[in-house]
Amino acid sequence: MPRLMFRASCIAFLLIFSLTSCRAQSPSHSLSTTLSNCRPPPPLPPNVKPGVGNLSLSRDGKTLVVAGGDGKIRFVDMDTGAVQRTLTAHTNAMYRAIFSPDEKLLASSSRDLTAKIWDVATGRELQKLSGYRCSVKAVAFSPDGQTVAASGNDGMLKLWDVRTGAELKSLVHINSADIDMAAYSLVFSRDGEKIYAGNGDGTLYYPGTPARIGGKHDVPVESLRIVQIQRGLQDHAYLALCSRLGDARLAKAEALAIAPSLRGWARDPLAYQAARERLAARIEALSADRRAGALPLGHVE
């Protein structure tokens, strides 16, 4: 209901991890410890059609890289439309095939539970990034090209050293079987210090610091669910209308009752319903007074 929900509506539903301070699991932890209820995908059927999972265009506009539903990477000449070469990249359908910042490497992700790094010039597989329980949906290079991030349906976002293939860190926003933990898309910040991940449960995450949230550690802070943002926009309109009609005191009181602090949102749906009913009744009363000419617009009781 408070104004914070209105501001949050301008943000995409993302996880945002600070790479220097985020909650992480040790690389030695098995991914089987996550509570995601995802299941490994079925094998690729025979004679599957080469559907297109993703496109990546070189900076000079001359080469199009196609991630195929048949597990193959195709390099297409943009002048002629001809396939220049084909890499048999994965044993199942692919989701992504993207260039590194210097375009000397490719990173790919697939339903075969792996991500891979390729040499563009030779077509040679350089690194196979495994350890995922389910499909690997997304992959992204850091701006300096030294780190690859990959994530998928099991809810884990892993960071890898491009040169050695060593796993650097594993991140998870919430470890729960009650939500869709899958991370479907990734992008690094321009400075490479944060990574943004679009996830399936509709929550917002951002880096929180002790100065802002209390405690002793920097952690990812859970914000609002997308459905609450939609309702929050409506609630904000009611609060603003109540204030404009003359009862700013009630509007403020109702907002603070629902959200007394940044992390102290009410969890009981009945609390929201009751607040909305009180606001609606007060707005009707104020509107009736306004129509009767008893109160001027903007009057504060």
Residue 83 pLDDT: 94
Res 27: pLDDT: 35
Q: What's the length of the chain?
A: 301
Per-residue burial over 154-173, b = 16 or more CB atoms within 10 Å of its CB, e = otherwise: bbbbbbbebeeeebebbbbb
The pLDDT tens digits of the residues spanning 100-120 come to 999 999 999 999 999 999 999
Distance CA 89, CA 120 (A): 12
Q: Which of 47, 36, 105 is nearest to 71 (CA)?
A: 47
Evaluate the CA torsion angle 254, 257, 258, 259 in order and state its sign.
Answer: positive
Summarised one tens digit per residue, pLDDT across range 218-274 is 555 454 454 555 677 778 888 889 998 889 999 999 988 888 876 677 778 788 888
Show the low-confidence residues of the chain (pLDDT under 50). 1-32, 207, 213, 221, 223-224, 226, 298-301
- Residue pair 108/73 in contact by the 8 Å Cβ criterion: yes
Cα 159 to Cα 168: distance, rounded to the nearest angstrom: 5
Query: Closest by alpha carbon to 154, among 179, 186, 182?
Result: 182
pLDDT given at position 25: 36
Q: How far apart are CA 134 and CA 138, in angstroms?
A: 12
Cβ-Cβ contacts under 8 Å for 287 (sequence gap 6 or more)? 245
